[in-house]
Amino acid sequence: LLDGRGVPAPTIFARMSELAARTGAINLGQGFPDSDGPAVVLEAAIEAIRGGANQYPPGRGIAPLRRAIADHQRHWYGLDPDPDTEVLVTAGATEALTASIIALTEPGDEVVVLEPIYDSYSAAIEMAAAVRRTVRLEWPEYRLEPDRLAAAVTDRTRLILLNTPHNPTGRVLSADELETVAAVARERDLIVIADEVYEHLTFAPHRHVPIATLPGMADRTVTISSAGKTFSVTGWKIGWLHARPELVDAITAVKQFLTYVNGSPFQPAVATGLALPDEVLTEIGADLGRRSALLTEGLAAAGFGVRASEATYFVIADAAPLGYSDGAALCDDLPRLAGVVGVPVQAFAEDPSRPSSLVRFACCKRPEVIAEAADRLAHMR
């Protein structure tokens, strides 16, 4: 958590956003949209502030939001969490993840994660004094190999931390990959923490399936999501989780001393968003899919090796065909070379010092911004 001099190392996302701000480059690094989400959701927050929702809300989240989360899970996936005992509102998915990992491990317990690994997973595992066991997904297919998963599980394993749709690979895990994870969890009596923040940001024909819907999994899964991605409000930091009551109680015990409660005016607004008609949420994914395709095309035209994403804000591109073997060095230099910022995929590795020629670019930007970035990359000096 600290760098060599004992000071907090900024996250790769903060570092790359700072680089973009300092150089004036187009920021396709940190994943945040450059336009607002549904106006009704924004208006609902403004109304809530005007209506006086400005003091501490209940610790587990306001009842209408917990009900909206439960209704959303039932409507979209046939899951049926009890809003009073099985749902917890959190400060984004980040707090849901951290509180879950701290609550559900003892020091020395092992947590299995997929590599590429989202940065907060490793930090939370370290804060819990737990031990990370990595299962690597390999470019360009990024498929979960059952043997590798089996090899990562030991008698000390408590949790499998799953992320689908997956950042940064843009993969939606297939039914057989989900079943592989579920089978291991059932056999070895493990809890799965399922980070599903990109659940609605999938591109047809790909669809998100929560692992909690698989046989025997509802009772052993903590399902996590967040309003940030679906409604383009990453700064609101309203997330949630659902799980069986004993797990939610344990996680709540930790959560109440991390943030206590979260964003009272944003909670009713997110409840409004979750109840929007299906077409609205589907179109949010479809619209992002068009941007992802535009970015993929642009990166390919610029000479990168590209893998089309199935979901998420992100596209991974290989700079090796352009003669760059070190993606981290390239990303540091990209503002000067092209006036664009990306994130080196090696930052998501178990060993971030292992060089990789892969770069993650964000597609959650206006089409004209994506087109301009692609044009700049095509004319890279």
Q: How far apart are CA 307 and CA 304, in angstroms?
A: 10
Q: Which does 252 bind (CB under 5 to 8 A by kind): ligand GLN, ligand PMP, none?
A: none
Please, which of residues 138-167 interact with ligand GLN by CB under 6 A? 167
Query: According to the 3-state scheme, what is the secondary structure of 190-224?
Result: CEEEEECCCCCCECCCCCCCCHHHCCCCHHHEEEE
Give the residue, chosen from 33, 83, 92, 335, that forms a contact with ligand PMP under the rule CB under 6 A.
Answer: 92
Q: Are 73 and 240 in contact (CB under 8 A)?
A: no
Least separation, in Å, of the C-beta of 124 and ligand PMP? 11
Q: Residue 73 is which amino acid?
A: Q
Look at the block and give the residue holding tokens 């470019």.
Answer: 139
Q: Are 164 and 171 in contact (CB under 8 A)?
A: yes
Q: How far apart are CA 103 and CA 98, in angstroms?
A: 8
Residue 135 or residue 197: which is nearer to ligand GLN going by CB?
197
Q: Is 94 in the site for ligand PMP (CB under 6 A)?
A: yes
Q: Is 169 in the site for ligand PMP (CB under 6 A)?
A: no
**Residue in 283, 289, 281, 282 with CA at minimum distance from that of residue 308:** 289
Backbone φ/ψ region at 294: left (φ over 0), alpha (ψ -120 to 50), beta: alpha
Q: Is 197 in the site for ligand PMP (CB under 6 A)?
A: yes
Q: Give the CB-nearest residue to ligand PMP.
A: 92
Cross-strand pairs, 193: 161, 222
Give the residue, chosen from 239, 263, 289, 335, that forms a contact with ligand PMP under the rule CB under 6 A.
Answer: 239
Cross-strand pairs, 30: none
Least separation, in Å, of the C-beta of 97 and ligand PMP? 6
Region of 87-95, 204-212, 280-288, 355-363 interacting with ligand PMP (CB under 6 A): 87-95
Q: Is 312 in the site for ligand GLN (CB under 6 A)?
A: no
Residue 120 or residue 272: which is nearer to ligand GLN going by CB?
120
Q: Is 11 in the site for ligand GLN (CB under 6 A)?
A: yes
Which residues, at least 6 apart from 282, have a Cβ–Cβ distance to it below 8 Å? Answer: 200
Give the residue, chosen from 100, 234, 356, 357, that forms a contact with ligand PMP under the rule CB under 6 A.
Answer: 234
Least separation, in Å, of the C-beta of 223 and ligand PMP? 13
Q: Is 13 in the site for ligand GLN (CB under 6 A)?
A: yes
Q: Is 30 in the site for ligand GLN (CB under 6 A)?
A: yes
Region of 3-11, 88-96, 332-340, 355-363 interacting with ligand PMP (CB under 6 A): 88-96
Q: How far apart are CA 233 and CA 294, in angstroms?
A: 23
Residue 224 or residue 340: which is nearer to ligand PMP going by CB?
224
Least separation, in Å, of the C-beta of 13 and ligand GLN? 3
Q: Is 31 in the site for ligand GLN (CB under 6 A)?
A: yes
Which residues, at least 6 apart from 46, have a Cβ–Cβ distance to it below 8 Å? Answer: 265
Pair of tokens at residue 129: 């004094």
For ligand GLN, what does the binding mask look like between residues 164 and 183, x meaning CB under 6 A? Answer: ---x----------------
Q: How far apart are CA 207 and CA 192, in angstroms?
A: 20
**Residue in 136, 123, 61 with CA at minimum distance from that of residue 94:** 123
Least separation, in Å, of the C-beta of 375 and ligand PMP? 26
Q: Are 163 and 199 in contact (CB under 8 A)?
A: no
The site for ligand PMP (CB under 6 A) is made up of 31, 92-94, 118, 163, 167, 195, 197, 226, 228, 234, 239
The site for ligand GLN (CB under 6 A) is made up of 11, 13, 30-31, 167
